[in-house]
């Protein structure tokens, strides 16, 4: 099932994110997915060596989740593989019945735990989207014909609506759409006004956008993101909100409340929500409940 | 243009084996050469029979000429330590193929080709100049990831995620095109992809 | 020689596409770098113009520029280069040149060329040896063959399976790098090392933006400090900078040449056998630009005949005096008055009469300089002593600070300048401190500390640094309202007024790596260089060159039986340099270091082909012969020699 079908049906598409471990024991990940996510979100992003930290591959983890009856979104970054490997992995995904992709440029190598590695970036998000589209048309990007029936995917990408250079982001978004991108997940939003303003511009592209949320766990995390994470800005009032009731924040309740509120304020302008829970998968049901979003019927 | 940094003291000390001749190359001193540190370090090394300071040892004929009067001491040496860029070390090593020739420096690149003053702009020597689409700012060198199709999501306050002192190359490009009224350049027609094989070839590949 | 030209014209189809919709073009082409200089007609300007014209484009103008990426020089020529009606600029150059122009122009700039791909950096000779500048040199484990550059895959742990007959699978013309490494190590008996070495992994984070940009910033700051160009040769001033001045033992005789100054040689007014006293005038000025000369000892004139001259290398008229050892002063040696009571003209007359000439090396008659036909706003004293090794002016500042200041005041009064500056390089902080303390209460005299860079002491560089002004091409300091003199000259002016002593002695540095006992001496004019060198323990080694002056602009002496002159500030003994000139490789370093912003590479060829028009076009006459170009030349071309040939020809009206 390609999630583009859900968008086409007019569904408010819900997705969450899981990160494979630096190892081969996936039990915990699978358990959480079943318990908290299967009936609350339509699909699950599986990150690709996120933040340049080496972990078990997204493709293999996607397959495991698929076999568990879940709907995975294969995240692919351009940091670690050249165009040969990338196209090969895309075909491998199709072979394994994985039809949902999120195509990213990727964080730079020095941000992670192998800072000495050689950064590849042979392709970037735009050329990768294009490459996938070409494969769907039956050709690789060197012009060779694909053997047999070409694959078909739901091609997604990322955009940062709250970036301080939002005009530059919009230009990139347009390029991605023209290259063949069919849906977007945003970077974490904490400022509804900015998101709404962004969507006013973005809607001209006619492509569905999911509101991206990162659960604000504590003040420290917010300050870190403000200083270091691109496209993310937690406003002062929100930080004060987290500071106000320390016990509540510690219990994770403030963060959950904030997320729910953000969904309520923004959902009329978005075509879905993507929650990045950073290990707090178990709070997702609560967030969706508070936001007034009912459980879903699993699509697989 | 090339500059050198001394390898660690421990590394250099380990390289000085037996009778050691040192060759310092000051040819690119105007760009950079850790003259003072090299002198200090060389004072403490054991077994040094001669310190030769000259320039442009990357020129094999000049090297031969400069070393002529030191023939005897070099022949008697067990090790030759070279304080120069990689080109100089390789040239010395080629001239004394039977001798142990060691590099005491690591070589780094600075932007710029001619002269002795590095530039604020760099050329990636990609062979397929992209400057026409970017208002004259090179995406290969101004972007840490050498992206060709626009900004990634990593820029914060106009700075690159890799180094906060570095401006996001693609943001600079966007602003420049805006200023020139050429934002149309960024309109997508086909994705730009590098040709790593033979960009200078007469026939286009795709 | 290899050709490492950095760019070639784009393919016609691509150019047609770029040209579409653009008209009224100005074409800038770079004259290329890093290839043998066989002709000055390089770029593909003509070819591009043809393509543009085919498209019916209007070419508004074109220019061929040397070293387009040299920002300061290019931005200077750029002003006024592009005509008003230009709408688009097309640049034929590597990416650096294009970006340099794009950074300067307000209108759109386009690339008509692509860079040429080379993996790795070449050195300063156009050989096939390359370096990848990876920041983690592997040459020590490979016997001096680079695995990053010489292996197509840049492998670090040995050969891959692709080599066939010792050739690389990627390029059959290329030797397998790892095979070469194996053979080299085998030759050196180091194969076991190769087998025992730990696994190597490249660290790609070594070369990063932060590292590079910090170096770029610091090197650029240092290079552009004060004035464009210049170099930082190793100074060796520690050999003599802490040695206080002592009087050199009185010479037994002195040989005083008639030509110790710019302009006409002086005419002797004494005869053989005549008794003379110290400070007595023995030769009179012979024209407007000339100078009187005085006896530096008391004794008998034993000869008035041609003697070997240290600068011309030829014999020229000199007065030889046998000293009586008494140093009896002439009657004319008496105080002339005070600056406050003497008029400007009276001061100038004293300076003229007492034979004061520029002691920084040029020997220009100071009185002529002071009587400037143009208004003077500043008297600038050169206390920089930018030549390596020399420490004479430094010692003059330390030992004779009061006299230097007095002399400056006198020169200010004589020229009518309201302000005075003493410029001192920052390698003489003790002198700076002393002079600052002594001038603290003098409102119109300032001490300027200049960052050490050769040739900061040259008058045009001083003016640039201190006044921020540029002396016009072919012009003089007075054109921008300045008079520049050496600090020793200022002391001589002070002695002339306060003591009535003419210029008969000066501080000289005797030093250099090959001088056994360096020192700073107060030497009488006419003292034998040989005697001085002997006194300083003679030179060590066979491969020694003795120069009068500094290493950069000094005059090598084959014969030490020559006398010290008024303008001789040093005697140095240095290792004889051995070099052989090869063809210019257009590395652009000469243009980068020339403080007069010339392009010395042209002189290398024009002198040989006797193209004097070409020399004129390239402003040879503006050259101050500082030697920076020759110092940095990677082809070891004797550029100053060639410039002098050109200047002589131009002066002769050729």
Q: Is A99 exposed, middle or buried (0-12, 13-18, 19+ CB in 10 A)?
A: buried
In this structure, is residue A194 part of a structural domain?
A: yes
Residue-level pLDDT at B205:
35
In this structure, is residue A242 part of a structural domain?
A: no
The whole-angstrom separation of Cα C230 and Cα C222 is: 10
The whole-angstrom separation of Cα C615 and Cα C596 is: 15
Q: Work out the end-to-end distance of chain C between its first and last CA atoms, rounded to an integer number of angstroms.
A: 35
The whole-angstrom separation of Cα A291 and Cα A31 is: 24
Secondary element (H or E) of residue C425:
strand C419-425
Q: Pick the residue from chain C with its C-alpha nearest to A117.
A: C204
The whole-angstrom separation of Cα C277 and Cα C17 is: 87
In this structure, is residue A100 part of a structural domain?
A: yes
**Helix, strand, coil % in chain A, rounded to nearest 5:** 45, 15, 40
The whole-angstrom separation of Cα C315 and Cα C312 is: 8
Distance of CA C605 to CAs B23, C118, C578, Å?
Answer: 32, 29, 22
Phi, then psi, of A130 in degrees rounded to 5: -60, -40
Does the pLDDT of residue B164 top 90, yes or no? no
**How does C148-183 read in b/e, with b if 16+ C-beta sit within 10 Å?**
bbbbbebebeebeeebeeeebeeeeeebbbbbbbbe
Q: Which of residues 54 through 93 in chain B touch C, CB cutoff 8 A?
A: 56, 58-62, 65-66, 68-69, 85-93
A112 vs B: CB within 8 A? no
**How does B75-110 read in b/e, with b if 16+ C-beta sit within 10 Å?**
eebebbbbbbbbbbbbbbbbbbeebbbbbbbbbbbb
C-alpha closest to that of A187 among A225, A239, A155:
A225
Identify the residue whose tokens are 């400022």. Answer: A191
Q: Mean pLDDT by 10-residue block, N- to C-terminus, for chain C (654 residues)?
A: 92 92 94 90 82 93 94 89 92 96 92 92 95 96 96 91 87 91 93 87 92 95 93 96 96 96 96 97 96 97 97 95 96 93 96 96 95 96 97 97 97 97 97 97 96 96 96 95 97 97 97 97 97 96 96 96 96 95 96 96 94 94 97 97 95 88
The whole-angstrom separation of Cα C157 and Cα A229 is: 38
Q: What is the pLDDT of residues A139-182, one digit of tens each?
A: 999 999 999 999 999 999 999 999 988 888 998 999 999 999 99
The whole-angstrom separation of Cα B162 and Cα A175 is: 23
All chains having 3 or more CB pairs closer than 8 angstroms to chain B: A, C
Residue-level pLDDT at A211:
97
Distance from CA of C313 to the nearest CA of B (A): 28
In this structure, is residue A166 part of a structural domain?
A: yes
Higher pLDDT, C2 or B188: C2
Q: Are strands B100-103 and B79-83 parallel, antiparallel or unpaired?
A: parallel
> Which residues are CB-contacts of A124 (< 8 A; sequence separation ≥ 6)?
A78, A105, B145, B147, B148, B149, B150, B152
Question: What's the domain count of chain A?
Answer: 1
Residues of chain B found within 8 Å of residue C216, distances taken between Cβ atoms: 110-111, 118-120
Distance from CA of A6 to the nearest CA of C (A): 43
Find the CB nearest A126 among B168, B191, B206. Answer: B191
Residue-level pLDDT at B185:
82
Higher pLDDT, B182 or A292: A292
Mutate to test the interface with A, among B142, B144, B152, B190 (most CBs of A within 10 A): B152
Q: Which domain holds residue A38?
A: 3-216+271-284
Distance from CA of C391 to the nearest CA of B (A): 21
CB B195 within 8 A of CB B128: yes
Beta-carbon separation of C219 and B117 below 8 A: yes
Distance from CA of A191 to the nearest CA of B (A): 16
Mean pLDDT of B160-172: 93
Q: What is the pLDDT of residues B41-52, one digit of tens each?
A: 999 999 999 999
Q: What is the pLDDT of residues C113-151, one digit of tens each?
A: 999 998 899 999 999 999 999 999 999 999 999 999 999
The whole-angstrom separation of Cα C306 and Cα C316 is: 4
Neighbours of A205 (CB within 10 A): 17
Residues of chain A found within 8 Å of residue B192, distances taken between Cβ atoms: 127
A109's tokens: 């190598």
CB C574 within 8 A of CB C545: yes
Q: What is the pLDDT of residues A47-69, one digit of tens each?
A: 999 999 999 999 999 999 999 99
Q: Is A153 exposed, middle or buried (0-12, 13-18, 19+ CB in 10 A)?
A: buried
Residue-level pLDDT at B198:
78
Report the Cα A78 to chain-centroid distance in Å: 15
In this structure, is residue A260 part of a structural domain?
A: no
DSSP states of A49-91: SGGG---S-HHHHHHHHHHTT--EEEEEESSS--HHHHHHHHH
In this structure, is residue A145 part of a structural domain?
A: yes
Report the DSSP beta bridge partners of residue A14: A273
C283's tokens: 């030769």
CB C416 within 8 A of CB C344: yes
C579's tokens: 């070099």
| Helix, strand or coil, per DSSP, at residue C292 | coil
A160 vs B: CB within 8 A? yes
C-alpha closest to that of C393 among C368, C420, C358, C369:
C358
Model-level pTM?
A: 0.91
CB A33 within 8 A of CB A44: yes
The whole-angstrom separation of Cα C285 and Cα C356 is: 11
Residue-level pLDDT at B197:
84
Mutate to test the interface with C, among B13, B33, B87, B139 (most CBs of C within 10 A): B87
Ranges of beta strands (E only) in chain B are 2-6, 20-25, 48-54, 79-83, 100-103, 105-109
The whole-angstrom separation of Cα C491 and Cα C484 is: 14
A123 vs B: CB within 8 A? yes
Mean pLDDT of B101-124: 96
Give every strand in the sheet of C267-268, ordered side by side.
C267-268, C281-284, C293-294
pLDDT category at B201 given cuts 50, 70, 90 is low
Residue-level pLDDT at C170:
86
Identify the residue whose tokens are 């070819």. Answer: C47
Residue-level pLDDT at B202:
57
B51 vs C: CB within 8 A? no
Does the pLDDT of residue B111 top 90, yes or no? yes
Does the pLDDT of residue A283 top 90, yes or no? yes
Q: Are strands C293-294 and C130-131 parallel, antiparallel or unpaired?
A: unpaired
Q: Is C63 exposed, middle or buried (0-12, 13-18, 19+ CB in 10 A)?
A: middle
Distance of CA C556 to CAs C530, C559, C560, Å?
Answer: 13, 9, 10
Residues of chain B found within 8 Å of residue A175, distances taken between Cβ atoms: 149-150, 186, 188
Neighbours of C377 (CB within 10 A): 14
In this structure, is residue A252 part of a structural domain?
A: no
In this structure, is residue A17 part of a structural domain?
A: yes
Neighbours of C362 (CB within 10 A): 13
The whole-angstrom separation of Cα C443 and Cα C418 is: 10
**Helix, strand, coil % in chain C, rounded to nearest 5:** 30, 20, 50
Q: Are strands C113-115 and C7-9 parallel, antiparallel or unpaired?
A: antiparallel
- CATH at residue A119: 3.20.20.220
What percentage of chain A exceeds 70 in pLDDT?
100
């Amino acid at each position: 099932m390609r999630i583009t079908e859900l968008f086409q049906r007019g569904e408010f598409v819900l997705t969450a994110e899981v990160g494979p471990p630096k190892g081969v024991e996936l039990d915990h990940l699978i358990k959480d997915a079943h318990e908290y996510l299967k009936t609350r979100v339509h699909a699950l992003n599986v990150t690709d060596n996120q933040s340049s930290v080496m972990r078990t591959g997204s493709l293999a983890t996607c397959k495991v989740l698929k076999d568990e009856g879940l709907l995975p979104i294969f995240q692919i970054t351009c940091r670690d593989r050249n165009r040969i490997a990338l196209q090969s992995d895309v075909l491998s995904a199709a072979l394994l019945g994985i039809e949902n992709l999120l195509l990213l440029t990727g964080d730079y190598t020095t941000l992670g735990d192998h800072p000495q590695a050689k950064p590849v970036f042979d392709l970037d998000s735009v050329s990768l989207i294009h490459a996938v589209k070409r494969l769907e048309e039956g050709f690789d990007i060197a012009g060779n014909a694909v053997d047999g029936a070409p694959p078909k995917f739901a091609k997604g990408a990322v955009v940062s609506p709250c970036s301080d250079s939002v005009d530059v982001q919009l230009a990139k978004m347009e390029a991605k759409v023209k290259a063949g991108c069919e849906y977007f997940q945003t970077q974490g939003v904490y400022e509804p006004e900015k998101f709404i303003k962004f969507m006013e511009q973005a809607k001209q592209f006619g492509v569905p956008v999911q509101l991206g949320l990162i659960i604000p766990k504590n003040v420290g995390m917010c300050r870190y993101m403000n200083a270091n994470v691109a496209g993310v800005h937690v406003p002062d009032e929100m930080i004060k909100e987290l500071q106000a009731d320390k016990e509540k924040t510690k219990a994770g309740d403030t963060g959950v409340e904030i997320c729910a509120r953000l969904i309520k304020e923004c959902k009329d302008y978005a075509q879905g929500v993507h929650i990045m829970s950073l290990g707090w998968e178990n709070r997702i049901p609560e967030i969706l409940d508070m936001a007034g979003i009912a459980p879903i019927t699993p699509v697989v | 243009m090339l500059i050198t940094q001394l390898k660690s003291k421990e590394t250099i000390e380990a390289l000085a084996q037996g009778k050691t001749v040192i060759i310092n190359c000051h040819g690119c001193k105007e760009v950079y050469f850790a003259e003072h540190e090299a002198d200090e370090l060389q004072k403490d090394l054991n077994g040094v029979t001669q310190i030769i300071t000259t320039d442009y040892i990357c020129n094999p004929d000049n090297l031969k000429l400069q070393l002529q009067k030191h023939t005897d001491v070099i022949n008697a040496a067990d090790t030759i330590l070279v304080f120069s860029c990689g080109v100089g070390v390789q040239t010395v090593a080629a001239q004394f193929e039977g001798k142990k020739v060691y590099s005491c420096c690591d070589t780094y690149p600075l932007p710029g080709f001619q002269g002795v003053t590095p530039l604020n702009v760099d050329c990636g020597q990609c062979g397929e100049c992209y400057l026409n689409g970017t208002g004259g700012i090179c995406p290969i060198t101004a972007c840490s990831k050498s992206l060709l199709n626009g900004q990634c999501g990593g820029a914060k306050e106009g700075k690159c995620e890799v180094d906060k002192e570095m401006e996001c190359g693609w943001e600079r490009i966007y602003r420049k095109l805006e200023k020139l009224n050429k934002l149309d350049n960024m309109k997508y027609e086909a994705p730009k992809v590098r040709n790593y094989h033979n960009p200078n070839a007469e026939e286009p590949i795709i | 020689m290899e050709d490492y030209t950095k760019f070639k014209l784009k393919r016609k189809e691509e150019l047609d596409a770029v040209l579409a919709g653009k008209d009224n073009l100005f074409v800038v082409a770079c004259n290329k770098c890093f290839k043998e200089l066989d002709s000055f007609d390089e770029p593909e300007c003509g070819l591009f113009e043809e393509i543009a014209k085919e498209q019916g484009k209007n070419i508004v103008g074109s220019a061929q520029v040397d070293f387009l990426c040299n920002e300061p020089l290019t931005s200077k020529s750029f002003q006024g280069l592009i005509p008003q009606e230009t709408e688009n600029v097309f640049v034929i150059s590597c990416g650096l040149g294009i970006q340099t122009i794009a950074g300067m122009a307000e209108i759109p700039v386009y690339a008509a060329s692509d860079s040429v791909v080379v993996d790795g950096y070449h050195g300063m000779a156009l050989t096939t040896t390359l370096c990848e500048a990876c920041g983690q040199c592997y040459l020590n484990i490979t016997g001096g063959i680079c695995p990053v550059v010489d292996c197509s895959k840049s492998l670090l742990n040995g050969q891959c399976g692709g080599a066939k007959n010792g050739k690389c699978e990627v390029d059959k013309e290329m030797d397998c790098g790892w095979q070469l490494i194996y053979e080299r190590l085998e030759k050196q008996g180091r194969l076991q090392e190769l087998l025992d070495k730990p696994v190597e992994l490249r660290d790609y984070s070594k070369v990063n933006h932060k590292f590079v940009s910090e170096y770029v910033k610091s090197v650029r700051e240092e290079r552009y400090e004060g004035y464009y160009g210049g170099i930082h040769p190793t100074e060796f001033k520690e050999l003599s900078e802490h040695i206080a001045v002592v009087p050199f033992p009185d010479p037994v005789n002195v040989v005083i040449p008639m030509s110790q100054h710019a302009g006409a040689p002086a005419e002797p007014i004494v005869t053989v056998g005549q008794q003379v006293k110290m400070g007595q005038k023995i030769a009179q000025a012979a024209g407007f630009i000339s100078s009187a000369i005085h006896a530096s000892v008391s004794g008998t004139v034993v000869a008035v005949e041609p003697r070997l001259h240290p600068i011309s290398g030829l014999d020229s008229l000199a007065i030889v005096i046998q000293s009586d050892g008494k140093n009896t002063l002439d009657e004319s040696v008496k105080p002339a008055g005070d600056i406050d009571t003497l008029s400007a003209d009276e001061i100038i007359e004293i300076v003229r009469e007492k034979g004061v000439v520029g002691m920084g090396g040029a020997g220009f008659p100071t009185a002529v300089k002071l009587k400037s036909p143009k208004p003077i706003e500043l008297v600038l004293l050169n206390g920089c002593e930018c030549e390596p090794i020399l420490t004479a002016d430094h010692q003059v500042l330390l030992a004779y600070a009061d006299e230097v200041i007095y002399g400056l005041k006198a020169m200010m009064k004589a020229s009518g300048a309201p302000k005075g500056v003493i410029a001192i390089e920052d390698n003489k902080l003790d002198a700076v401190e002393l002079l600052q303390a002594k001038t603290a209460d003098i409102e119109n005299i300032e001490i300027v500390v200049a960052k050490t860079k050769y040739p900061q002491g040259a008058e045009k560089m001083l003016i640039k640094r201190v006044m921020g002004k540029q002396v016009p091409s072919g012009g003089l300091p007075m054109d921008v309202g300045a008079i520049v003199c050496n600090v020793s000259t200022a002391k001589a002016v002070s002695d002339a007024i306060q003591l009535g002593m003419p210029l008969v002695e000066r501080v000289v540095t005797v030093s250099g790596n090959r001088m056994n006992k360096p020192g700073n001496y107060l030497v009488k004019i006419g003292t034998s260089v040989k005697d001085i060198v002997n006194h300083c323990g003679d030179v060590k080694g066979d491969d020694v060159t003795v120069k009068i002056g500094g290493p950069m602009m000094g005059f090598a002496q084959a014969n030490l039986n020559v006398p010290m002159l008024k303008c001789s500030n040093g005697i140095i003994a240095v290792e004889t340099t051995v070099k052989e000139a090869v063809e210019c490789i257009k590395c652009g370093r000469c243009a980068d270091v020339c403080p007069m912003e010339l392009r010395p590479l042209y002189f290398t060829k024009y002198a040989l082909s006797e193209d004097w028009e070409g020399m004129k076009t390239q402003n040879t006459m503006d050259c101050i012969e500082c030697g920076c170009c020759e110092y940095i030349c990677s082809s070891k071309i004797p550029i100053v020699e060639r410039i002098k040939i050109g200047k002589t020809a131009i002066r002769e009206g050729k």
